Amino acid sequence: MKIVSIGAGNLATNLCVALHKSHHDILQVFSRKSTSAECLACRIGASPVTDMELITTDADIYIVSVTDSALPDVARRLVDHLEAGNQGGALPLIVHTAGSIAMDVIPSARRGVVYPMQTFSKQRLVDFSQIPIFIEANYADDLEMLRLLATSLSSHVQVLSSTDRRYLHLAAVFCSNFTNHCYALADKILSQHNVPFSAMLPLIDEVAAKVHSMPPHEAQTGPARRHDANVMNEHIELLANDKRLQNIYKIMSESIADD
């Protein structure tokens, strides 16, 4: 398929590289920042564009991967541009890639969503074949088109409504952002007590591996699960000089104990 990427950030970079590897033709990469547009375009044989007026009207799909806050405005301007170029004809399919934003942020009938649920960095390309991709479209034909596109990248493709996708994104914040922050808080504690963070890696890996074979509720261990008040009170005391960290400890432990 002929594709234009609106955006050249972490998700756009990973998605476009994967699409390129699956032999899709990415015509252009748009970004307001010329270095970002050029850097990604160069990796995938596309043309960099920094002026929205120069975006081609000839693509099959326009994939908008910009920050959530920029998405409404960028989608509106893209639709205006394509309408001006199409002179009243039907617009091509426009999709976004944001987990937490409804499909109808795109003010055009042929709209959809392709949400690859993963955490992305430009510097670290991930293997798309194992990434769950959640798709949605306004029209059945477009949904099939997105299914084709998504299955060319991954074997885990699921249709999901905008409403359910909001909860999926929320769950991903727990599994990803909050777990990583737990690592960061541990790092902060260890740095004051002569232990390198690397000592935690086997534990971190095992906790992640465990939930491949049992539900997280069953995998739960630790003082809160055992209702071991002695250990919990001692930990709370160790955190006496950091009230926020102490509060996180208390509320997480209460939630585990009552689960």
Write out the binding residues for its own copies, residues 50-109 only, by CB under 8 A.
Answer: 67-69, 100
Residues facing 12 on adjacent strands: none
Minimum distance of its own copies from residue 84's CB (angstroms): 29
Minimum distance of its own copies from residue 194's CB (angstroms): 5
Residue 59 in tokens: 């693509």
**How far is CA 113 from each of CA 121, 165, 196, rounded to the nearest angstrom?**
21, 10, 42
By CB neighbour count within 10 A (0-12 exposed, 13-18 middle, 19+ buried), where does 56 fall? middle
Minimum distance of its own copies from residue 146's CB (angstroms): 17
By CB neighbour count within 10 A (0-12 exposed, 13-18 middle, 19+ buried), where does 201 fall? exposed
Which CB sits closer to its own copies, 152 or 158?
158
Q: At a CB cut-off of 8 Å and minimum separation 6, what does 14 contact? A: 116, 118, 120, 122, 125, 126, 128
The residues in 201-220 that bind its own copies, with binding defined as CB under 8 A, are 201-208, 210-213, 215-217, 219-220
How many angstroms separate the first and last alpha carbons of the chain? 48
Q: At a CB cut-off of 8 Å and minimum separation 6, what does 252 contact? A: 224
Q: Residue 181 interacts with its own copies (CB under 8 A)?
A: yes
Residue 52 in tokens: 């929205």
Total site size for its own copies, rule CB under 8 A: 91
Minimum distance of its own copies from residue 45's CB (angstroms): 27
Please count the other Cβ atoms lying within 10 Å of the Cβ belonging to residue 47: 16
Which CB sits closer to its own copies, 1 or 182?
182
Which CB sits closer to its own copies, 53 or 237?
237
Distance of CA 234 to the CA centre of its chain: 38
Q: Residue 33 interacts with its own copies (CB under 8 A)?
A: no
The residues in 223-252 that bind its own copies, with binding defined as CB under 8 A, are 223-226, 228, 230-231, 234-235, 238-239, 244-245, 247-249, 251-252
Q: Which stretch binds its own copies (CB under 8 A): 22-30, 34-42, 83-91, 196-204?
A: 196-204
CA distance 191 to 216: 28
The residues in 125-144 that bind its own copies, with binding defined as CB under 8 A, are 126, 130-132
Which CB sits closer to its own copies, 2 or 147?
147
Minimum distance of its own copies from residue 99's CB (angstroms): 9
Which CB sits closer to its own copies, 51 or 218?
218
**Which of residues 47, 151, 152, 179 is near its own copies by CB under 8 A?**
179
Q: Residue 178 interacts with its own copies (CB under 8 A)?
A: yes
